[in-house]
Structures are given as C-alpha cells and as structure tokens.
C-alpha cells in the first residue's frame, strides 16, 4: 500500500493563508499603495536626469545608485501587486531600500553631497519607507 502525499503547497492552512493575502492585496488601498510604490521607484530611478544631478557635480555614483535602487523598488512593487500571496515575505525589503535612499547621498557621494540630491533622496526615501511599511503590514490590517 502506497500513499501519495502532496507537498506543503497543498496544505489547507497554507492555501487559506495565501488566499487571505491575495484578498488583502485586492483592496483599493492595497492597489493604491502598490501604484505609489511603483511611481516612487520610477522617480528614484529617473531622478538624476529629472533633477540634473550632473549640475551639482560629482554625483555619478549616486546616479547609478538611484537608478539601480529605483528599479529594484519598482520591480518589488510590481511583484507585490501581481502576486502578493507569494511575494509578501520579502515586502520588508522595500522600507529598507527607502532607508538606504535617505542615507545614500552621504554614503555614496562622500562628505559633501549637494542640496538638490539630498532633498530629493530624503523625500523619496521617506515616502518609500512609509509606503513599504504600509505594504508589508497589509495582511495584518485586513484581519481587522
């Protein structure tokens, strides 16, 4: 007598949990969060060219940093929007990237980053932190 066992993916509790996460992700507030995170990431990626970081001098490394981290944030948000039930476990990385965005002008550009780069990175970084915390807390809020 042989018995076939399904993998952990078919466990009723896991299926119910994923269903809960997917329902939470379908709420209008969740869709708005996802969209705002995507837009924030795209702005971060394009900010060196939108604001003309080159005018501030010596910010080439920050341009590359903002491009990479901005695309990472946008990609994470698209993953959360498309399959929250499967990607919610890495939602905590979005606020961390936001914190990095805030401190990057000093870490990447050295001791003297210029005003426009600081203002842009701090504002968009803080926005990414807040929106990322909201997205990570989404399943807990839908229990209420």
Residue 69 pLDDT greater than 80, yes or no: yes
4 domain residue, yes or no: no
Let me know if residue 5 belongs to a domain: no
pLDDT value, residue 96:
96
Contacts of 24 (CB under 8 A, 6+ apart): 30, 84, 138, 139, 141, 142
- Residue 122 is predicted with a pLDDT of 95
pLDDT: which is higher, 23 or 29: 29
123, two tokens: 């504002």
Task: Say if 91 falls within a structural domain.
Answer: yes
For residue 26, is it within any domain?
A: yes
Does residue 3 lie in a domain region? no
Q: What is the mean pLDDT of the chain?
A: 80
Please measure the distance between the N-terminal and C-terminal CA atoms of the chain and give it in whole angstroms. 46
E-strand ranges in 27-82 read: none
CA 95/CA 97 separation, integer angstroms: 5
Whether residue 64 is contained in a domain is answered as yes
**Number of domains making up the chain:** 1
Q: Is residue 2 part of a domain?
A: no
Find the domain containing 109 and state its range.
Answer: 13-141
Band of pLDDT at residue 129, cut at 50, 70 and 90 = very high
Distances (CA, A) of 110 to 59, 63, 114: 10, 14, 10
């Amino acid at each position: 007598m042989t018995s076939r066992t399904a993998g952990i993916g078919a466990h009723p509790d896991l299926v119910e949990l994923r269903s809960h996460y997917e329902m939470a992700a379908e709420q209008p507030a969740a869709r708005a969060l996802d969209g705002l995170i995507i837009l924030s990431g795209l702005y971060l990626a394009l900010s060196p060219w939108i604001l003309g970081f080159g005018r501030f001098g010596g910010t080439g490394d920050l341009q590359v940093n903002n491009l990479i981290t901005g695309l990472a944030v946008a990609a994470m948000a698209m993953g959360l929007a498309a399959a929250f039930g499967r990607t919610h476990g890495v939602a905590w990385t979005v606020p961390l990237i936001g914190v990095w965005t805030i401190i990057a002008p000093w870490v990447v550009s050295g001791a003297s980053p210029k005003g426009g780069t600081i203002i842009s990175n701090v504002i968009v970084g803080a926005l990414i932190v807040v929106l990322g915390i909201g997205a990570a807390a989404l399943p807990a809020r839908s229990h209420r």
